[in-house]
Structure 1
């Protein structure tokens, strides 16, 4: 991650440690990619589901923090559709489905470098009254 990122992402040490890269960042839409490392695989030499979830969750967080309000996850579900391995490039494309009052629903499609769908994620957001960090 680079300095051009929003303060929220500049402070996101977890996403930075995982090597995530922001490809798009606009209200209600974000795209994040991550290359799967050897240390991100499980005992079957496939990408650990937690890392697939992590890249989807980061894209979701960016998409749902559309303004100065602090918005957090109220819940999320993921369906794993294709296994990947070390070297795969995962891209999470998050899009707002609906936002009403303090809640929202966002869908995230995770694909690999060939464009095949790896996972589908649905996040539910809640806008808080917390002041943004400066």
Structure 2
């Protein structure tokens, strides 16, 4: 379902709404696009994004720089909490690194909603490599702000 089809948010199923919101956000998310991230799956309150670790993403130890891992998790968090046609931003986030990422790894960040209130939400994001090893755990707190992604 495309946001450009002219359909209103009220005309869409929850799944189609989440997909249309993601498409609209993706169009302007140059940071996520520039890093080569891909949206693998989006649903209401959920999103899975992936990214291949490139040589420029390595730190002085030859391992994935934590900032890139955080950015992947943060992007999955953003797409998970913006699927309800309410503009939502990160209010607070933390990450725990569990294992190093290595050049050539394909990292996958899977975000799931734990709580969604009137203006706030809590989301957990798990980052794994292509061998299924846990790389990091991220928790994000969201805040709904004024505006929508699609016409009501």
| Band the TM-score falls in, shorter-chain normalisation | over 0.9
Matched, 1:8 2:15: no
Indicate the residue corresponding to 2:41 in structure 1: 24
- Specify which structure has the higher proportion of helix: 2
Distance in 1 (CA, whole Å) between partners of 2:45 and 2:134 is 21
Distance in 2 (CA, whole Å) between partners of 1:14 and 1:62 is 13
Give the unaligned 5+ runs of structure 2.
1-19
Distance in 1 (CA, whole Å) between partners of 2:101 and 2:144 is 34
Q: C-alpha root-mean-square deviation of aligned residues, in Å?
A: 1.7
Correspondence list, 1:95-134, <5 A:
95-132=112-149
- Specify which structure has the higher proportion of strand: 1
1:77 to 62, 85, 94: 94
Task: From the CA coordinates, give the structure whose radius of gyration is larger.
Answer: 2
Aligned residues: 132
Distance in 2 (CA, whole Å) between partners of 1:133 and 1:57 is 22
Distance in 1 (CA, whole Å) between partners of 2:85 and 2:123 is 18
- The answer as to whether partners of 2:40 and 2:49 remain within 8 angstroms in 1 is yes
2:83 to 54, 66, 81: 66
* 1:131 to partner: Cα distance: 4.6
**Runs ≥4 residues deviating over 2 A:** 130-134
